[in-house]
């Protein structure tokens, strides 16, 4: 258990975030993150380990940003032009609100961790988090059981 949350509570939160039902018949179902539950869970564990509070909107946005960045593979990712608008569409908000919420979450995590000297930019935090998770997956260090 970390930060008062066990792995099952995290899985329940991720299932809610991944499942999205349209509010009207004319709206399409957003299937952007279907099949990414394991990556979302890894991102959740990473963010918890960095002291980012789960009650912040930026927490959910960061989870999705990290998963999207992982999905780009080795291709260069344009966070502000590609990732923020995608997250904003999923959460029905604006790209500027996504950027601001992520910045707030990153800053709160840096205040929690005393070892951080300088607050990284949103793009740096997201790309470094994705690279960290990718390397740990390659090394086989991330072993989260699926039920």
CATH number at residue 60: 1.10.10.10
* Model pLDDT, residue 43: 87
56-71: pLDDT as tens digits: 989 999 999 999 898 8
What 3-state class would DSSP assign to 57? helix
Asked whether residue 87 is assigned to any structural domain, the reply reads yes
- The predicted model scores a pTM of 0.72
Backbone angles phi, psi at 112, to 5 degrees: -70, -40
* Model pLDDT, residue 134: 87
* Model pLDDT, residue 16: 43
- Residues of the chain short of pLDDT 50, as ranges, are 1-22, 24, 26-27, 29, 144-147
- Residue 106 domain boundaries: 7-19+33-139
Asked whether residue 24 is assigned to any structural domain, the reply reads no
Backbone angles phi, psi at 2, to 5 degrees: -135, 130
Asked whether residue 48 is assigned to any structural domain, the reply reads yes
Cα–Cα distance between 54 and 3 in angstroms, integer? 9
Cα–Cα distance between 104 and 44 in angstroms, integer? 17
> How many domains would you assign to the chain?
1
**Which residue stretches of the chain are H helix?**
7-18, 37-49, 57-71, 84-91, 95-112, 122-139
Structure-block tokens of residue 88: 């904003």
Asked whether residue 107 is assigned to any structural domain, the reply reads yes
Asked whether residue 15 is assigned to any structural domain, the reply reads yes
Asked whether residue 45 is assigned to any structural domain, the reply reads yes
For the chain, the straight-line distance linking the first and the last C-alpha, in angstroms and rounded, comes to 17
């Amino acid at each position: 258990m970390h930060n008062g949350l066990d792995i099952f509570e995290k899985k329940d939160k991720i299932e809610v975030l991944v499942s999205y039902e349209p509010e009207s018949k004319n709206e399409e179902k957003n299937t952007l993150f279907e099949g990414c539950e394991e990556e979302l869970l890894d991102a959740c564990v990473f963010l918890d380990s960095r002291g980012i509070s789960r009650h912040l909107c930026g927490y959910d946005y960061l989870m999705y940003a990290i998963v999207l960045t992982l999905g780009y593979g080795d291709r260069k990712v344009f966070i502000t032009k590609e990732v923020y608008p995608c997250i904003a569409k999923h959460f029905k908000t604006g790209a500027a609100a996504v950027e601001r919420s992520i910045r707030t979450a990153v800053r709160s995590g840096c205040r929690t961790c005393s070892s951080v000297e300088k607050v990284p930019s949103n793009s740096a935090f997201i790309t470094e988090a994705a690279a960290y998770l990718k390397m740990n997956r390659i090394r086989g260090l991330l072993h989260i059981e699926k039920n």
